[in-house]
Chains A and B, each alone.
Chain A
């Protein structure tokens, strides 16, 4: 008997690899899957939300309403894209809304008060936004201040300059060259109306999805956010990577400002205070880690859509505006808790 059992033990055991999964609880298995595919969680939330709101109000899943949701989400998504790049490097940008709005005010004033041709006004506005991002980058990499402090300072400065330049006046879209408001014009696709702004937004996401995944720059962004000292010792010029990220983010915010003009059909200095937190919300809901090095731009797009779908769906469901913020806040806390849980995965 004993000899039989001992020979049985000698049989080569299967290598303990993924077979382990079979013995895991459903919770653990979900944890593993989400660890490998961090976008799945936010995607599931988005799909469930869309189905739920469609059941509550049949108007939700109609082409005109979905067109509206996408148009509403576009600016936040573009700002969230820039914010994602910065958060991937373990930074944070509080000046995002200020840069976007100030850029839009500059474009509008170049085109109206200074009478600069539309295309030139646009380019100048984009350059100014890029320069604002570069200033953040300079302060972070050269003066070596923490990004939170840097962007808190520039947030205040840019909003102040914004008031000075605009004299707190709104520039009407009808007074501007048509290029300024072009981002708000639509392409009909069946009953769905896609704005050019949304199209630009989708192209930007496609581009940065590619740049982060398939270029050396993308790898360096992740490596810098993951562990800056290791990245430096591996030969990456981390200061240069950080500076490029803040500068590119500034350009993206300025593009966001341009899309904002199209969306509002005006350039107003008094919007955008919510954009800072909304963009961070989109990034966090999308599963990007505030500690850097983990996350994706696709997650941010989904995160922005979640915010838009919740705002719109709650409104259609008759929930008061004041409670919408409550729901979004709750969602953020759930998302961050989920992220913490996924991180604890045993490998």
Chain B
């Protein structure tokens, strides 16, 4: 176990709340993500896990509570600010543009221009550099040889698209990568490839928050498992300390949550 209580969390949420009218989405939401770990977040529908994640990725502004990045208090008003701070999120919809090629998608919204007059006056993109960089990022995650970098994303399989989205977040995320249901739409084989990809991202040094409904995947890849229930953190367990059925029991309220492990 890499995470210990003596370390400063990379990302920490304290007492986040979010209400929509009389509906409470998060009630004192807490979360700690430590360096070098994969933290899975599980919870039943309506447990507030997506609101919690949205608050961390800037897609939602909490009513109260605090978020710390590397011990510094941060306020995200939109996803761009979270991204600029080094938190990359891979949304369930992937946010890739099917008509553009892999390199274009990797650099979408962050294009690089040619140096000198060509870039400053004519705003010409440095396509060669972006392509070689894209190739490097893809191969860093062991997916470099999989396909031609100039191929349109629409011609890729679901798993390959996921790989492009994960590679993008790993390439630009400097602090944290958040993955929302990355294996939900995939077959067994492709799902396993993406799990390996998630481990590769962690081994690259980036801590990962993984939101998933898929218990076998969570137990296979997570270092710690954050269980969200009724708008708050029920507990944190590890795949070694508890079984899948115990986790589900805590998640649904059938079992008393044990004290958090870390």
Contacts and interface: CB of A to CB of B under 8 A. Distances in A.
Interface of A: 210, 214-217, 219-220, 222-223, 226-227, 229-236, 293-294, 347
Contacts of B100: 219, 222-223, 226
Contacts of A230: 93-97
Contacts of B155: 347
B124 A215 contact: yes
Contact of A223 (B93, B97, B127): B97
B125 A215 contact: yes
A217 B123 contact: yes
Contacts of A234: 95-97, 105, 108-109
A231 B98 CA distance: 10
Given A230-B93, A235-B109, 20 more contacts: A214-B124, A215-B124, A215-B125, A216-B123, A216-B125, A219-B100, A219-B104, A219-B108, A222-B97, A223-B100, A226-B98, A227-B98, A230-B94, A233-B79, A233-B93, A233-B95, A234-B97, A235-B80, A236-B108, A293-B99
Interface residues of B, number: 26
A72 B124 CA distance: 33
Majority DSSP secondary structure for residues of A touching B: helix
A230 B154 CA distance: 13
Nearest to A219: B104
B83 interface: yes
29 contacts: A210-B122, A214-B124, A214-B127, A215-B125, A216-B113, A216-B125, A219-B104, A219-B111, A220-B109, A222-B97, A223-B97, A223-B100, A223-B108, A226-B98, A227-B97, A229-B95, A231-B95, A233-B91, A233-B93, A234-B105, A234-B108, A235-B79, A235-B83, A235-B108, A236-B109, A293-B98, A293-B99, A294-B99, A347-B155
Contacts of B80: 235
Tell me if B's interface is mostly helix, strand, loop or mixed.
loop
The 10 closest A-B pairs by CB, nearest first: A235-B109, A233-B95, A216-B111, A223-B97, A230-B95, A347-B155, A234-B108, A226-B99, A215-B123, A293-B99
A178 to B, nearest CB: 32
A191 B187 CA distance: 65
Contacts of B99: 222-223, 226, 293-294
Nearest to A217: B123
A229 B97 CA distance: 10
Contact of B97 (A210, A215, A231): A231
Interface string B86-123: 00000101111111100011001111010000000011
A226 B97 contact: yes
Which of B93, B109, B111 has the largest count of A CB atoms less than 10 A from its CB?
B109
Nearest to B59: A233
Contacts of A210: 122
Contacts of A215: 123-125
Nearest to A345: B155
A222 B111 CA distance: 14
A337 B64 CA distance: 55
A19 B155 CA distance: 17
Nearest to B104: A219
Contact of B154 (A217, A219, A235, A347): A347
Interface string B153-178: 01100000000000000000000000
